[in-house]
Amino acid sequence: MTHSTSEKVVPSLRQGSFRRDGKTAVVTGGGSGIGRAIGVRFAAQGAKIHILDLNLKDAEGTCQQIAAAQGSAEAHVCDVTNQKQVIAAFQQLAAQGPISILVNNAGISHIGTVESTSEEDFDRVMRVNVKGFYNCALAVVSHMKSIGGVILNMASIAGSSGLADRFAYSVSKGAILAMTYSVARDYLAYNIRCNCISPARVHTPFVDGYLKNNYPGREQEIFDKLSKAQPLGRMGEPEEVAALALFLCSGEASFITGVDYLLDGGFINLRG
C-alpha cells in the first residue's frame, strides 16, 4: 500500500507539539541572557540541556535555575573558537545520547565603523560569531546525520539592516544568514533542519553593562531612548526569543528550514 506525502507528515506533527521529552539540546553561550532563557524554556518542555559557556559559574547558574524547576541540565566550559575543543566536547556529549538540537547562541558585540574597527577587533568578532557557529555546526552534524535534528542560529537584524556603528558585528551576522541557508540546503536529505532568528534589541545583562560602562548616571535615559527606537516602544525580552526558539526546534516546525525569522518589534518594516 502506498502512502501520500501528507499521510507521512501528519503523524509526526501530531506527536510533536512543543514537548521535547527525550531530546538533548546543546545551547552555546547559555550562561546568561538569551542563551539562559532558551535553556530554561527547553528544559521546561522536557529536554535534557547541555550549557556550553566560557564562564563555568554562569553556566552552572543556568543549570541551577533549571534544576530548581525540576529540569535536567549540565554545565560545560567550552571555547567555541577552538575547533579541537568543540569537537571533543560534542563527542563527549554524544556518548551520553543522541544530540537532537543545537542552538548556536554564543556571540559578542562590537561598536565601530569600518575606520574605527581595528584588525584585532574584527578578527575577534569573526572568530566568535562566525567561526564559533561553524565549529559547533561541524561538530554536531556528524552525530545528527543518522537521526536528524535541528540547528538554530542566533542572527540579528544587524545582518540584514544597516545599523550605525556596528560594522564588524553586522558583517558577522550577515555571514550567519548565509551559513544558515547553506547548512539547511546541504543537509535536507539527512532530515537536519537549520533556521535562524534575527532579534532587534533584547534587554539582556549585556545591555545593562553597556549602559553602565558608556553612560554612567544616564543609564535610564539611554535605556528609554533605545527602547523607543523600536516601533513597539520597548526592547524584546530573552523569554520572547526563547519562545520562538522552542517553536522552531519543535515538531510543530517540522516543515520549516532555511528561514530567517525576524523578532524585532516592527523595527525592519514599520519604522518611520
* Cβ-contact 35, 105 below 8 angstroms: yes
Reduced to 3 states (helix: H, G, I; strand: E, B; else coil), residue 269 is coil
Q: How many residues does the chain have?
A: 272
Spatial contact of 17 and 250, defined as CB atoms under 8 Å apart = yes
Catalytic site residues?
169
Q: Distance (Å, rounded) from C-alpha 272 to C-alpha 267?
A: 9
Asked if residues 200 and 226 have their Cβ atoms less than 8 Å apart, the reply is no
Neighbours of 11 (CB within 10 A): 9
Q: Which residues of 80-94 are buried (b: 16+ CB within 10 A; e: fewer)?
A: bbebeebbebbeebb
Can you give the C-alpha Rg of the chain in angstroms? 19
DSSP state for residue 52 in the 8-state scheme: E
Look at strands 260-263 and 72-77 and give their pairing.
Answer: unpaired
> At 155, phi and psi to the nearest 5?
-100, -145
Spatial neighbors of 59 by CB under 8 A, at least 6 apart, are: 30, 31, 51, 52, 53, 75, 76, 77
Helix (H) or strand (E) run with residue 80 in it: none
